[in-house]
Each structure stands twice: as C-alpha cells, then as structure tokens.
Structure 1
Amino acid sequence: MATDTSTGDIESFGTVSRTVGTIFRYIMLAATLFGLVVLGVLLVYVANDAIQPLTADPGWHLTFLLTLVLPTIGVGAYLYRRDTDALSYGSLTVGMLVVTLMFGGGAAMIFVDILPPLVWLAYVVALAPPFAVVLALQRRAHRIPFLTRAALTTAAFYLSLFGLPGPIGTAVGGSQILPGVPEMVQVAPFIPLDWMSMAGTLGLGVAAVIGWYAAGIRDRRTGLLAGGAAFVGIVVAALAGPFVGLDPLPAVVLASVSVVPTVAYAVSTAVDRPRYRIGLLVPLAVIGGALVGELAVGALGFAGPQSWVDWQFLTSAHSRTAENAGLYPAIGGSILLMVTVALLSFPLGVGAAVYLEEYAPDNRFTRVIDVNISNLAGVPSVVYGLLGLGVFVTYLGQPTGTVLIGGATLALLILPIVIISSREAIRSVPSEMRQASYGMGATKWQTVRNVVLPRAFPGILTGTILALGRAIGETAPLIMIGAPSVLFSLPTELTSKVSAMPLQVFAWSSLFASEDFYTKAVPAGVVVLVSVLLAMNSVAIVLRNRYQSEQ
C-alpha cells in the first residue's frame, strides 16, 4: 500500500487526519453521555415519584448519611487505592446478596401461593430414581447400545412419574395397577411440614452443590463440612425465621436461594484468595451500616420516606384506589411466564444453534434459514402476538390468556435471539479444541457434548438471560392473546389466566387513568419492573465478565 508522507494520503484510504478522528471520537462520547444523562434523569424522575425520598425527616437522611453512605464511600475509596480486585470482590458479594434476595422472594412466592411444597417434594422424590438410572447407564455407556439406554431411560421416567400402565395404558382401556411415585408420596400417612419438605429438597440440593464446589477447590473432607454447615444454616433459618417476622417456609427458601449461597461464595473466596479478604469491608459497611441506621432511626423516632414501593404494594392485589393497589398477582404471573418461556425457548434455541453450527451443511437451504432467523429477531413483538393468537388460540383451539399460551407466545418472540446468541457462543469456541478432541478419537457428538457446549455455556446462558429480560417487559403479545390486564389472584396452573407486571402498569395508566394512579401506582410499578430487569441483566453481565476473564 503506497503512502505519500508529504500530503498524508494513503492509497485506498484517502486523506488521513488525526483531527477528524479526534472530533469523531468526542462526538460519539458526547452522544453516549447525552443518552445516559437523559435516561438517568427519566429514571430519577420516576423513582422520585415512587419512593419520595424528600418526604423523610431530615434526621432520617442525616442518620443514614453517617451510618451507611459515608462509611461505604470511605471503604470504597480506601480499597480503590489499595486493591481494586478486593473492591470488586466485596461489591460482587453485596450485589449477589441483593439480586439473590429478589429471586429468592420470587421463589418463596411460588412455593407459598402457587406450588404446594408437598407436590414439589413428590416430584423431586419421583425424579430421583430415574436420574440414578441415567447415571448408572452413563457409567456403562461403552457396553450398552444407545437405543437400549434411551429406552431404559424413557421407561424409568415414565414408570416413576405415571406408574403402570400409566396414561398410555389407561387411554387404551387398561386399569391402573401401580400408581406413580408422586401420587404415592402425596397420599402417604406421614407428611412432613412444608418447611421440612423444602429443606429436604431445595435446601439439601443447595448444600450438596456447595459441598461439591468446596471439595473441588479443597478436598473431600472440606466439601462434607461445607455442605453440612450449609444445610445446618438453612435449618437454623427456618427455626429463626419467626423471630424476624418470617414464616419457616419462606425463611428456608430465602436461605437456600440467597443467604447461604452468598455466604458460601464470600467464605470460599476469602479462604482461597487471602488477598481478597479485605474486600469483606464492603458488605460489612453496607449491611452493618443499614442495620445500625435502621436501629438508630427507630430509636430516635425519625420517619422515613412515604414510599409507594412498600410491603403492602408488593403483597396486595389490584384495587380501584391507588393507595391500596398492589402488584402481587402480576409479579407471580411474570414469574410463571418466565419459567414457561425458559423451559420452551432454551432447549429449542440451543438445539437449533448446535445443529446449525455443528451439523448443518453450508448450502442454499441453511443460508436461507440464517437470513430468516436474523430477520425474525427484528420483527415487532405485536406480530408474534398475532402469531400466537392465530396458531395457539384460533387454530389449536386453546383458551386465551393462559400461562401456557402466554409463555409459548413469548418463547416464539425470543427464540431467534436465543438461537443467534447461542450460535455466537458456539462459534467462539476455538476450532483447535474441536480438532484436539477428534484427534483423541472422539465422535462428533462427544466433541459437542464434552468440549463445545461446556465452553460455550456461559455465553449461551448470558444471551438467554438477556432475551428473558426482553420478554418480561413485553406487553403487546400478551394483549393480542387476550391476557387480562388485571387479576386479583395468582395463577395456579398452566391453564389459568395470567397477567404480568407490564400489563398491570398499562392498566393503571389507561383503564384506571387518574392523577393518583399516574403519580403513585404507575411509578411504583415501573420501579419494580425496572429493578427486576436490572437484576436479570446484572446476572448476565457477571457471567459475561467472568467468562471473558477466563479466556
């Protein structure tokens, strides 16, 4: 490539000017800052209407300034100058506790009002024998043909869940000989308490994961001690819950989903990386400062903000008055919709991505598929609502506005996004790793299962979480399939009517439009919805950063 140093001309590039490049860079920086400032002002305006911080007593602000804000800033500044990695560790511990508490609250809502713990226990017990069969067959995979293993696995799940002859035998006129394990568990003469069922299933599973992780970084004895300590902590949370205003069941769920995993992460990192221990000053300053501030304002009698985002708002149903309106049924509906969307879109999206990247030939047909997937990712959401209405409701004759139909419609909406993000994650796996696997004599499927998917899984999970973040904020598809804007109770089945947080906020701003709803219920609903979105996106950001740091 020829260059004329006297004029600054480079063949094929034209005139090179650092001034133009500098101006372009600052224009882009200004545009980015302008967008961030406008968005920040909008969020602050909405949050001010919802939380109303200026309604608190001046003494309340001064107390938390002295006990929480200033100590946290001081600790952060000290760690920033001393060790930024320790600061990141402490900040991640606080963020993990906050985010997992939100998810733990959603899980507690499911087990308290939607899915009875006994039913959960019955299906966990029913799935344990088939999984044991799968593990046993996997260990002898080289001796047993694939079709035999598939048949034995299917039979194990079918017999355990449905009994003999099960729904297939009943459909052809046979009588039930042996009930399924879930039915036998639910009619057992001795039924454990709800919190015991959760501690023996969810709590024990979390403790097992913690023990397995500790054994991986230390030894088996450490893993057993860590798992045992985690399980004891969950049981203690159930016994101590009533003393802090929590029933044993939600206390077990919150401890299993949030408190115990966060403590396990903090302790394991502090033990494995002693240099990071000083980062524990951050959660100490934040949590300790918040507790001390709360005790101080209570003792001094300072009134806090008259926030509309309070316990009553989060645990109440809709009302015709903004002061009594709540978001509880809509929160539960959004949770059920997201669970349904994840179960439908994740296996289909990842399966399609694996086929297109690893198995599909490069021909005209696959190129047409690629173009259509990219185009479908940009289709407006209302079109997917019309598709769900036409396919699921009109053609298949399903009832409108149910959890299953809403979840299936939203799954169609994010499916192209899941496929594209999964393909990018799979494509990022170096080809040298595939060639090394083939060189060791592995088959195509063994390479995909043992090399490609484990390496690409963080990226796949990140893309899926971001796609779910888009789905949870959609309103148009749910309106098109006839989902009700207002519900007064939580859905309990897949065929139950369902609402969602965006629909509830839409109803408050349209059907019940008034000054009170505009200035009270609507901002509070927006703050809750944005908080959930930020929590989901924060998980995706952490996964992406950890994955990139491991490259």
Structure 2
Amino acid sequence: MATESESGQVESFGQVSRTVGTVFRYLLMAATMFGIVTLGVLLVYVANDAIQPLTADPGWYLVFFATLVLPATVVGGYLASRRLSAFKLGAMVVGMLVVTLMFSGGVAIIFVDIIPPLVGFSFAVALFLPAVLVVALTSQDRHVSFTSRLVLTAALFYLSLFGLPGPVGSALGVPSLLPSVAELVQSAPFVPLGWVMVALVLGSVLAVVVGRYVAGIRDARTGALAGIAALAATAAGGAVGPLVGVDPISTVIVAGVALVPTATYAGGAALTRDEDRLGLLFAAVVVVGTLAGAAAVNALGFAGPQSWVDWQFLTSSHSGNAENAGLYPAIGGSILLMCTVAALSFPLGVGAAVYLEEYAPNNAFTRFIDVNISNLAGVPSVVYGLLGLGVFVTYFNRPTGTVLIGGATLALLILPIVIISSREAIRSVPSDMRQASYGMGATRWQTVKNVVLPEAFPGILTGTILALGRAIGETAPLIMIGAPNVLFNLPTDLTSKVSAMPLQVYAWSSLFASEDFYTKAVPAGVVVLLAVLLAMNSVAIVLRNKYESET
C-alpha cells in the first residue's frame, strides 16, 4: 500500500506531479488524433477517387440538402439536445437499415446465382424434418439418456441429408438403398416457384425470430401473430418485385433480411421505450428524405456523382477496360469463403475455449498450449498460407485455389483469435453463477450449457465477427494456396476456384496496373471492401454495447 513520507513523496509511486500527468494525457490525445486524422485523410482521398462527388450537378446537392440534410440536421439536433438516448435510437434504426440492406445483397448473391432455390429449399426441408422429430421425441420422453439422444439426432440428420448408406457407403462401394429427403424434394414432379421457396425458407426463420422477440415484449399470442405477419411480409416482396421491375427473389430477400427486421426492431422500441420513441422520427426523416430526394432529382433530371461504385461495378466481372471492370465474382467468392471460415473456425474455436476454461486441468501441458495459442495469434498470415499449401494441397493432394482450401486456410488463420476471444468471454462469467448452478445439483456440462455459454455468447460472437473481419481482408494466404487473381464466374460449390475482393484489388493494382485502373477500379474496390468490413464490425460493436448495457 502506498504511504506518504516526510519528504513529500509517495512511497512505491515516486513523486506525484500533476503537470507530468497532464502532459502525458495530452500527448496520448495528440497521438490518437494524429492516427485518426491520418487515416481519415487517406480514406477521404480514396473515396474521392471512387465516388467523385464533385461531378454531380449543383441542383442534385440542393435537392438532397432540402429533402435530407436540412430536415435530418434539425430533427437530429433537437433530439440530441432534448434527449440523447432518443437520438441514438433513431440513428440505430437508420444504421440497422443500411447494414441489413448490404447483407441482403450478399444473401441475394447466394440464393440467386450460387445456390439454386430448389437446392436450398430441399436442404432446408431435410434439416427441418429431423429437427422436428428430435424435439418431439425428446419432449415425450425426458428420461432418454444424452448418448441415446445424440445417436438418434445424428442418425436422423444423416438419413435426411444423405440417405442410406450416404457418403460412407459410397466410399465403400455400397449402392444407394434409400434416397435422402433432399433428393426426394429435388425430384418431385411439382415444386413451388423459386421466389416462393425462398420466401418459405427465409420467412419461416424470420417468423420464429420475430415471434419470439414480440412474445418477450407482449405475450405468446401477439408473438404468434407477429411471426405470421413477418412471413406474410416476406412473401409479399415476391409479389411486389415484378411490379417495380426487380427479380422477385431479390425483393423477397430484401424484405426478409432488411425491411422486416428493421421494422420489427423499430416497433419493439416504440412499445418498450416510451421516452425514446420520439427518436424514430429521426429515422423516418432520413428514410423519407432519401426517397423524396431520389424521386425529385430523377424528375428534375439532375445528374448525381459519376461514381465508379455503381450497379454495373457491383454486378459485373473483370474486364481489361477499367470502366467496365466489376467486382461481382470476387464479392461472391468472399461471401463463400466467410461462410466456410465461420463453419470451420467457430465450433472448433469455441469448443477449444470451453475445454481450456472449464475442463482442462492446470498443468504444464495446458500452460504450454496457452503459450502457443497466444503465439499463433501473432504469426504473419503468409505463414498460414504456406501451412495451407503444405497440408491441404501437398499432403492431402487437394486442388489449389478452391473454396474449401481457401476457407480452411483462413480458418486456421483466425482460429487462435477466436479461441482467445472466446476464452476471455467465458472467463468474464462470474464464478458465483457457476457455484449457484452446482449448488442446485447441476452437472458441469449442464452448467456450461445453461449458464456459462448463454452469458458468454455475446462476447464470443463479437470476437468471432471481428476475426472474420480480419479474414475477409487477407490476401497473402489466398496467393500462397494458388487462388486465381481474376475469375469471370461465381464459384458454385466448395470445389470451385475462388477469388476474393482483396485479391481482385491486388490484381488490378499489379497485373493490370495502368492509370485507369489506379484511379477508377482500385479505389472503387477498396471502398466496397471497407464498406463490407465496417458493416461486419458494426454488428460486433452493437453486440458488445448491448452486452455491456445488460451487465
């Protein structure tokens, strides 16, 4: 404990000086501001080349100033001065709408061009039927042992997805005896329209989520009605699409991923946050002002910025001409890579974290593992590329540059980060909660499943999303495993060749280096990549803030 001596000094701390502390604080502030300003200047420079805001007509700026900027500034300033939490609610709704619209574009790429609607629908049915059977059987007999439930669940899902004998029998040369549910659905003589199948799959999941959310606010009956309304609203997108000249599958996805969830959150906030519901006025002003401004400039004929980040850039493949070059195959490749990375790294990372924190003994071996996990988190990404090349390509003799090999290599890259962040989240769960669970007679597994993981899940999810944000921007591992720099078509399965957004930008700046690519395609690709990263990180930030507010 520090004590003050006769010489006016504090033992164990030295002489106390407010001047030194003040100087130190301002030096830290200056260093932080220097980094932020430098990064901001760089981003503004790149965004200016990509968006070219000064090429718009003056009338275009005037219209959007009158319909969007001025009303949003007035309403936002009033809310911020009267009640800051109300303004934050409105800004949250606007941000949620923007981010979910971006995510809906990624989902549309998957269900429109990568996975046919019938294939996705068949596998959704093949997953739904055994899930219902398992829930029904276990609810009828609660005395079934855990091992029996595990074996039954695995058998039902295996038969439903793969049939009998499935991949195991095929590897042994055994002929197929029983087709899978997915195969039966795909071979049915009559199937619904594509957008109907997408609406049923997406709308059913959304109905469950919305129903549970509303039931937590009101009651079970209201939640059931809200779930039905969410399913109907998602399906209505398919009917609206042809009326506005848009593919019905795309409108179903936009409705189910962006519009319905945002409207549900806004409605729930209006019901539960009486003092902050006025903040929804800010969100309404922004949305209405944006739509009104777009309609006005279209009617008046004012040209907007001649941005290189346009619909043609987002939906076209590579071209030798920078003005016609697009990022579409690279965007689809990045989406498939991230799905593969998440599927491989999340269960392995969380499982390792649970074992190390809850089950592993404190001995020399586990301490050795701890040190190596921390060291692996700092290994350069090119080393993981060499590891993927040596293990997956050379040792297992797999083809280079595929979705599966790229996803597995990037999963190895972020696996230490997922383990460390998951361990920190599990460690943050108070030990009193564990002791209370043990005191009520729960086993260690029941405590982990019902107490530790639910409490730690927001932190685990936040760390995983941030790790995925790192993986989506990596180039060196993909180069090392032989991923092509340029692709003209989307990958369709896990064995297809794959490219990614950072790899495509790298190719434009090196293999196709020219003044046009430097000033047009490269800045546009960087802006799109940064937008995706910011969208992913925003989800992590929201989850972290929600978790901190609850605790």
TM-score in terms of structure 2 length: 0.98
**Is the contact between residue 2 and residue 13 of structure 2 (CA under 8 Å) also seen in structure 1?**
no
Moved more, 250-259 or 141-150: 141-150
Q: What residue is the counterpart of 1:179 in the other structure?
A: 179
Partner residue in 2 for 1:478 = 478
Q: 2:356 is aligned with what amino acid? A: L
Which residue pairs with 1:339 in the alignment?
A: 339
Structure 1 segment 207-222 matched on structure 2, within 5 A: 207-222=207-222
Partner of 2:540: 540
CA distance in 2, matches of 1:312, 1:152: 50
Matched, 1:423 2:418: no
Shifted more, 101-110 versus 121-130: the winner is 121-130
1:16 aligned to 2:16? yes
Which residue of 1 is the match for residue 71 of structure 2? 71
Residue 177 of structure 1, CA deviation: 2.6
> 1:9 is paired with a residue of what secondary structure?
coil
- In structure 1, the partner of 2:253 is 253
Q: How far does the alpha carbon of each residue in 1:197-250 deviate from its partner, in whole angstroms, 9 at most, with x for none?
A: 011111121022101211122112211221121112112211111233321101
Corresponding residue number in structure 1 for 2:198: 198
Per-residue Cα deviation, 1:175-213 (whole angstroms, up to 9, x for no partner):
323211111100101111000001111112102210121
Report the Cα offset of residue 288 of structure 1: 0.9
The residue type paired with residue 337 of structure 1 is: L
Classify the secondary structure of the residue corresponding to 1:355: helix
Asked whether the equivalents of residues 50 and 308 of structure 2 are also in contact (C-alpha less than 8 Å), the reply is yes
Q: Which residue of 2 aligns with 1:501?
A: 501
- Say how many residue pairs are matched: 551
For 1:549, the equivalent position in structure 2 comes to 549
* Cα offset, 1:174, TM superposition: 3.8
Q: Distance in 1 between matches of 2:234 and 2:391?
A: 45
Q: Which amino acid aligns with 2:475?
A: T
The aligned residue for residue 89 of structure 2 is 89
Q: Bigger shift: 455-464 or 85-94?
A: 85-94
Shift of 1:172: 4.2
Q: Does the C-alpha gap of structure 1 residues 393 and 169 become closer, same or farther in structure 2, counting only changes over 3 Å? A: closer
Q: Aligned-pair distance for 1:499?
A: 0.2
1:451, distance to aligned residue in structure 2 (A)? 0.1
Unaligned runs of 5+ in 2: none
* Change in CA separation of 1:173 and 1:308 when aligned onto 2, cut-off 3 Å: closer
Q: Distance in 1 between matches of 2:147 and 2:233?
A: 44
2:167 counterpart residue number: 167
Q: Aligned AA for 1:399? A: P
Report the Cα distance in structure 2 between the residues aligned to 1:495 and 1:390, rounded to whole angstroms. Answer: 18
How big is the shift at 1:147?
2.1
SS of residue paired to 2:80: helix
Comparing 37-46 with 205-214, greater Cα deviation is found at: 205-214
1:457-497 alpha-carbon deviations (Å, 9 max, x no partner): 00000000000000000000000000000000000010000
CA distance in 2, matches of 1:298, 1:485: 38
CA distance in 2, matches of 1:173, 1:420: 43
Please state if 1:48 is matched with 2:48.
Answer: yes
In 2 relative to 1, CA 300–170 (structure 1 residues): closer, same or farther, beyond 3 Å?
Answer: closer
CA contact (8 A) 2:104 2:254 kept: yes
1:145 Cα shift? 2.0
Paired position in structure 2 for 1:126: 126
- 2-structure distance, mates of 1:456, 1:16: 40
CA contact (8 A) 2:384 2:409 kept: yes
- Classify the secondary structure of the residue corresponding to 2:275: helix
* Deviates further, 210-219 or 392-401: 210-219
Give the letter for the 2:158 counterpart.
Answer: Y
| Partner SS for 1:245 | coil
- Identical amino acids, percent of aligned pairs: 72
Separation (CA, whole Å) in 1 of partners of 2:395 and 2:47: 44
Distance in 1 between residues matched to 2:287 and 2:5, nearest whole Å: 62
Sort the Cα spacing of 1:170 and 1:59 in 2 relative to 1 into closer, same or farther, 3 A: closer
Which AA in structure 2 matches 1:323?
E
* Structure-2 separation of matches of 1:163 and 1:250: 32
Of residues 281-290 and 524-533 in structure 1, the stretch that sits farther from structure 2 once superposed is 281-290
The answer as to 2:284 corresponding to 1:281 is: no
Equivalents in 2 of 1:398, 1:367: separation in Å?
A: 34
- Corresponding residue number in structure 2 for 1:239: 239
How do 1:267-416 residues align onto structure 2 when only pairs under 5 Å count? 267-416=267-416
Distance in 2 between the 1:538 and 1:175 partners? Answer: 50
TM-score, length-normalised on structure 1?
Answer: 0.98
Q: In 1, Cα distance between the equivalents of 2:141 and 2:399? A: 44
Q: CA offset at residue 171 of structure 1?
A: 4.3
Matched residues in 2 for 1:171 and 1:533: separation? 41
Counterpart position of 1:514: 514
**Farther-moved stretch of structure 1 (139-148 vs 60-69):** 139-148
Distance of 1:306 and 1:199 partners within structure 2: 36
Asked if the contact 2:360–2:366 (Cα under 8 Å) also holds between the matched residues in 1, the reply is yes
- Greater CA drift, 133-142 or 400-409: 133-142
The answer on whether the counterparts of 2:200 and 2:235 sit within 8 Å (CA) in structure 1 is no
Letter in 2 for 1:128: F
Q: Which moved more, 1:59-68 or 1:97-106?
A: 59-68
**C-alpha distance in structure 2 between counterparts of 1:70 and 1:29, whole Å:** 32
Deviation at 1:322, TM superposition (A): 0.5
C-alpha distance in structure 2 between counterparts of 1:508 and 1:326, whole Å: 11
Q: Does residue 62 of structure 1 match 2:78?
A: no
The offset of 1:86, in angstroms, is 1.1
After TM superposition, the structure 1 stretch with the greater mean CA deviation from structure 2, 314-323 or 218-227, is 218-227
Contact persistence 2:330–2:487 (CA under 8 A)? yes
SS class of match (2:318): coil
**Cα offset for 1:140?**
5.7
List runs of 5+ in structure 1 lacking aligned partners.
none
| Kept after mapping to 1: 8 A contact 2:138/2:144 | no
Q: Which residue of 2 aligns with 1:459?
A: 459
Contact persistence 2:404–2:495 (CA under 8 A): yes
Q: CA deviation at 1:136?
A: 3.1
SS state at 1:274 partner:
coil
Q: What is the aligned-residue RMSD (CA, Å)?
A: 1.3
The residue that corresponds to 1:146 in the other structure is 146
Whether the 8 Å CA contact 2:458–2:544 is kept in 1: the answer is: yes
**Pairwise CA distance, 1:130:** 1.5
CA contact (8 A) 2:107 2:253 kept: yes
CA–CA distance in 1 between the matches of 2:4 and 2:190? 90
Check whether the contact 1:346–1:464 (CA below 8 A) recurs between aligned residues. yes
Equivalent residue letter for 2:532: V
8 Å Cα contact 1:137-1:149 kept in structure 2:
no
Shift of the alpha carbon at 1:64? 1.0
Residue in structure 1 matched with residue 113 of structure 2 by the alignment: 113
Say which is worse superposed, 58-67 or 114-123, in terms of deviation: 58-67
- Give the letter for the 1:473 counterpart: G
1:117: Cα distance to partner?
Answer: 0.7
Deviation of 1:282 (Å): 1.4
The 10-residue stretch of structure 1 (275-284 or 13-22) with the greater mean CA deviation from structure 2: 275-284
Cα distance between partner residues in 2 of 1:307 and 1:6: 70
**C-alpha distance 83-2 of structure 1, shift in aligned 2 (>3 A):** closer
Superimposed CA distance per residue, residues 380-409 of structure 1 (whole angstroms, 9 cap, x where no aligned partner) = 000000000000001110000000000000
Q: CA deviation at 1:154?
A: 1.6
Moved more, 54-63 or 412-421: 54-63
Deviations 1:66-94 (A, max 9, x none): 21111111111111111111111111100
Give 1:6 deviation, angstroms: 6.3
How much does 1:165 deviate? 3.1
Q: Supply the distance in 2 between the matched residues of 1:544 and 1:214 (Cα, whole angstroms).
A: 22
Matched to 1:378, the amino acid is G
Kept in 2: contact 1:313–1:326 (CA 8 A): yes
Paired with 2:89 and 2:450, the residues of 1 have a C-alpha distance of 31
